[in-house]
Amino acid sequence: MASQAPRKPPTVPASTDSGDGDLSVVLERRTLKVRPPQMYQVVMLNDDYTPMEFVVVVIQEFFGKDLETATQIMLKIHLDGKGVCGVYSRDVAATKVDQVLDAAAKAGHPLKCVSEPVDF
């Protein structure tokens, strides 16, 4: 899992004493930086034993793909060793991984998948 860079602690406003008795405080203007949430891709891995048909059904069922798209993804995994089934927030991606591993284990297949942060 990717860790985020630690935030800098807030700085104390600079005080200036011009010597004339007026003590002024300079407030630093900061732009608020917001970032989109880190997204995670669910990557499915090839193996020599899980039937292609099972993989296609899993991709349709858990990743909402139609038969043709699921077949293309399965073939990509089969040929390249791995392939992305979908991109989600961290918790949803983790749930998809659990669902796939659970379905595979129940069916007695060694199918594996992992979630990994997407860099953008």
- Smaller CB separation from ligand TYC, 92 or 114: 114
Indicate the DSSP class of residue 31.
P
For residues 28-46, one letter each, b for 16 or more C-beta atoms within 10 angstroms of the residue's C-beta and e for the rest, the string is eeeeeeeeeeebbbbbbeb
51 contacts ligand TYC (rule: CB under 6 A): yes
- Smaller CB separation from ligand TYC, 42 or 55: 55
- Smaller CB separation from ligand TYC, 84 or 92: 84
Under rule CB under 6 A, how many of the chain's residues touch ligand TYC?
13
Q: With left for phi above 0 and alpha for psi between -120 and 50, is residue 3 left, alpha or beta?
A: beta
- Residues of this chain that interact with ligand TYC (CB under 6 A) are 44-48, 50-52, 55, 74, 77-78, 111
